Amino acid sequence: MSVTPKPPALELYLPRTPIMSAADIARVMGFPSTEALAKARLAGRLPIEMFKLSGRRGWFASTDRVRAWLEHTLQHPSQQVEEEGGMT
């Protein structure tokens, strides 16, 4: 009998707010710093859209979009490696 692994509770990793800060996004997406996230954003290498908010400093993203990316990544990990050009 095959047992399907239970997906992790993503709510443990995501904030309960509709919008995430760059620091939250960097942590969830595995970037070592917000500077690394900013470099990836400037190079067009982020799989999510980020935006600015008037009256606020920095960049933000929709928590739902980040959750969707995370769910897709956890369900299809081999596609991420292929899309990024393989492992070195």
pLDDT tens digits for range 23-69: 999 999 999 999 999 999 999 999 999 999 999 999 999 999 999 99
Do the domain assignments include residue 20? no
Do the domain assignments include residue 73? yes
- Residue 48 lies in domain: 28-58+67-77
Do the domain assignments include residue 72? yes
pLDDT at residue 88 tops 50: no
> In total, how many domains does the chain have?
1
Do the domain assignments include residue 50? yes
pLDDT in the model for residue 83: 53
Concatenate the DSSP letters of all residues of 7-47 into one string.
Answer: PP-GGGTS-SSSEEEHHHHHHHHT-SSHHHHHHHHHTT--S
Do the domain assignments include residue 32? yes
pTM of this prediction?
0.76
pLDDT in the model for residue 86: 47
